[in-house]
Amino acid sequence: MVLGALPAAAGGDAAAGRKRAAACQACHGLDGLSKLPEAPNLAGQVEVYLVKVLREYRDGTRRNEVMNVVAKELTDADIDNLAAYYGGLQIEVLPPG
Amino acid sequence: MVLGALPAAAGGDAAAGRKRAAACQACHGLDGLSKLPEAPNLAGQVEVYLVKVLREYRDGTRRNEVMNVVAKELTDADIDNLAAYYGGLQIEVLPPG
């Protein structure tokens, strides 16, 4: 199958992303765990996936009322940094209990 | 705790979802951890978010070359079951460092 084009590996600054995440935390948490049923968890998400999706929200090719507004305010560096921050949070899948 | 604020599960059958996940695992893993940079982790993702997104991929309002094809094969029950399976995987965000 043909996969869509991915952004190059981001190399964002996670510490800067953590600060920028003030704009994200009400819905996605500073810990990357969703605070709202509408909002996905972001903790440990694939970094280049986060970059791709944020760019799509910014340019409108991915549509969501909230995210299209929020992402419009993000620079390329903001996006790379946010992806580095949320993608860099380490998660563990627990064994079924 | 944040996850407690989320609405009740969509009522899918996680065991049935695990079987149906044969169609998902090459990219998203049976453990819900991405096997490809294009594909997000699904482990522990918000269940109602997964239902919403799969429906959007199925009806084409969310666009992705791969997912639009894959989701077309899913019934409403498949979607609920897959969301119950992947959303039901327990994750933990590890402390930094």
pLDDT surpasses 60 at A80:
yes
Q: Binning pLDDT at 50, 70 and 90, where does residue A11 land?
A: confident
The answer to whether the CB atoms of B46 and A39 lie below 8 A apart is yes
Mean pLDDT of A43-58: 97
Q: What is the CATH architecture of A14-88?
A: Orthogonal Bundle (1.10)
- The sign one gets for the Cα dihedral B37, B40, B42, B44 is positive
State the smallest CA–CA distance between residue B76 and chain A in angstroms: 19
b/e sequence A72-88, b meaning 16+ C-beta within 10 Å: eebeeebbbbbbbbbbb
pLDDT per residue over B52-84, tens digit each?
Answer: 999 999 999 999 999 999 999 999 999 999 999
The arrangement of secondary structure in B11-88, i.e. its CATH architecture, is Orthogonal Bundle (1.10)
Domain boundaries, chain B: 11-88
